[in-house]
Chains A and B, each alone.
Chain A
Amino acid sequence: QVQLVESGGGVVQPGRSLRLSCAASGFTFSSFAMHWVRQAPGKGLEWVAVISYDGSNKYYADSVKGRFTISTDNSKNTLYLQMNSLRAEDTAVYYCARDPMPSWGVLGYFDLWGRGTLITVSS
């Protein structure tokens, strides 16, 4: 079954760190660029970060640049998002999503999404 499953969400204090995971199954994970997208409660979608299929290129939204790091572990078919110096405005459901074209550059749209994991940054 082709799917993405996020984990690692929860409540965290401002300034602390958290790492999200996204486990992929049912497809050749190492062949696809992968993204994180977030959605604050009751708000719209915000793209967060992307990593190319070979890990050679990573891009971040300005709002998280310097604080968040995207990475993959192909041996575990897992995507990560290391989030440091968390702020209240980082509170959101975080989705991992797949770029559609295998072994290609980043097209930037998403043909497969996880169900999301909620991060709440609050003291």
Chain B
Amino acid sequence: DIQMTQSPSSLSASVGDRVTITCRASQSISSYLNWYQQKPGKAPNLLIYTASNLQSGVPSRFSGSGSGADFTLTISSLQPEDFATYYCQQTYTTGGITFGQGTRLEIE
């Protein structure tokens, strides 16, 4: 299976900060990379699909970039509701979908 590694594993930031989370695949996955946000006790929520496409209803302060093996999720100006855990997910192989370990974004 393709391994996904996120960095950092945890991050402290303040409201208004610009935040970047990185996701690296163990091999090239083209643009088959998606990002989710999960709040405690809730199901994940799709933010970005195929590396850079913003899911309907997601605020424009979220953006994604990258291709091949290296990807980033950027939040341009953190809002209080953005403090959560973020996961990347690769869908390069249908039967081998994998997630990163998660990045916990906390209030500084």
Residues of chain B contacted by A62 (CB below 8 angstroms): 1
Q: Is B55 an interface residue (CB 8 A)?
A: yes
Interface centre among B36, B42, B55, B91 (most CB of A within 10 A): B91
Q: Which chain B residues in 78-104 approach chain A with CB under 8 Å? A: 87, 89, 91, 94-95, 97-102
Interface centre among B38, B43, B91 (most CB of A within 10 A): B43
Residues of chain B contacted by A116 (CB below 8 angstroms): 43
- Contact pattern, B 10-37, Cβ under 8 Å of A = 1, otherwise 0: 0000000000000000000000101010
- Determine the main DSSP class of A at the interface with B: loop
Whether the Cβ atoms of B32 and A47 lie closer than 8 Å is: no
**How far, in whole Å, are A97 and B38 apart by their CA atoms in the complex?**
14
Q: Is A83 an interface residue (CB 8 A)?
A: no
Whether the Cβ atoms of A108 and B91 lie closer than 8 Å is: yes
The count of residues in chain B whose C-beta lies closer than 8 Å to any C-beta of chain A is: 23
Whether the Cβ atoms of B55 and A111 lie closer than 8 Å is: yes
Q: Is B62 an interface residue (CB 8 A)?
A: no
Whether the Cβ atoms of B99 and A110 lie closer than 8 Å is: no
**Can you name 14 extra interface pairs (CB under 8 A) apart from A100-B49, A111-B55?**
A44-B99, A44-B102, A45-B36, A47-B97, A47-B98, A47-B99, A50-B94, A50-B95, A60-B95, A108-B89, A109-B34, A113-B45, A114-B43, A115-B43
Contact residues of B with A, CB < 8 Å?
Answer: 1, 32, 34, 36, 38, 42-46, 49, 55, 87, 89, 91, 94-95, 97-102
The 5 closest A-B pairs by CB, nearest first: A108-B91, A59-B95, A113-B43, A47-B97, A109-B34
